[in-house]
Amino acid sequence: MSHMKVAREARSAAVVINSGSRRGAAARELAVEALHKAGVPVSAVHHVHSGAELAGTLDRVLADGHDLLVVGGGDGTVSYAAGRIAGTGVVLGVLPLGTANDLARTLEIPDNLAKACAAIAGGKVVDIDLGRANGQPFLNVASAGLSVQVTEALSPGLKRRLGPLAYGIATLRSYARHKPFRARLEFPDGDHEPLQLEGLLQVAVGNGRHYGGGNTVSPTAGIDDHILDIYAILAAPLREHVKIARLLRDGSFVEHDRVYHLTSRCVRLVTEPPMPVNLDGEIAAVTPADFTIQRNAVHVVVPQASAGATLDGPSALPEPPA
């Protein structure tokens, strides 16, 4: 199959919208109409209401032979879809309809629905990496500890009423209840010595650049750099965390002395007792967890001007010496 350069070259596009996402229900007619108008050959539209329904729908879309899959939903929905089409050659289009929309932020996809549709129609296709935790896909960040409690504290009502502000409120609530934990990080490639840590607030493994409503994984993180950014944050008095939280926005927090930051292509996280793992906002794995990266696994449409995945193709070659 020849590699699609722009979405208008697709033979057949399927649109899958998660009606439960923050803006999903309202987006249905609007999105399909906007895509049609922009010249995207939409030939199937599916609305899903649950994860189980999403899995079956994606199987159908693949069986039907569409070569472009436009997914409307939050980060969890998009990551799941990316995992399902990884390696199939199907191209992914993203309509950010969730609360945080961190993948869209990383890839510079507009938040406005009509603009996002136009960006799909006229965008370029780039390759991005896919993270896996025990085989389950994530695009932004996988984490254990505080973020899992935050996700559990984020009721759909809170997300609907407050949007991205809900994360801050849920974080403070969870912080008050958090029990520090201990973990061991092992590096199967042998690029780091095993790390045994106590008194942890959170361990996170980042593939993309943004998570949690606009926080930055690290100053150097990219979604196409074939590297996982791993960080462990030690628990501290709340005032220290307020400082760390400010640094979270731009990623400079990795320089804080209560934060360990490493990069690797794979890492194993072991905790006693086992702990749940949050993958892009969905609790979808449990420790011990093996985190790996699938290089260039997903073809995704981004706006022509996007620099979110610039290590694509020839531009990834080293600069000749000056």
Active site residues: 282
C-alpha distance from residue 186 to each of 196, 227, 256, 270, 290 (Å) = 9, 16, 22, 8, 9
Spatial distance between the Cα atoms of 140 and 298, rounded to a whole number of angstroms:
13
* Cβ neighbours for 61, distance < 8 A, ≥ 6 positions apart: 14, 16, 44, 46, 69, 90
Spatial distance between the Cα atoms of 64 and 229, rounded to a whole number of angstroms:
37
Spatial distance between the Cα atoms of 213 and 163, rounded to a whole number of angstroms:
9
Spatial distance between the Cα atoms of 92 and 298, rounded to a whole number of angstroms:
7
Residue 193 tokens read as: 């010595």
If one counts every other C-beta atom within 10 angstroms of the C-beta of residue 176, the result is 8
Residue 53 tokens read as: 């329904």
User: Whole-angstrom distance between the N-terminal and C-terminal Cα of the chain?
Assistant: 39
Q: Is the dihedral of CA 73, 110, 293, 184 positive or negative?
A: negative
Instruction: Judge contact between 91 and 25, C-beta under 8 A.
Output: no
C-alpha 158: how far from chain center = 21
Spatial distance between the Cα atoms of 82 and 127, rounded to a whole number of angstroms:
11
Spatial distance between the Cα atoms of 309 and 224, rounded to a whole number of angstroms:
6
Instruction: Judge contact between 207 and 140, C-beta under 8 A.
Output: yes
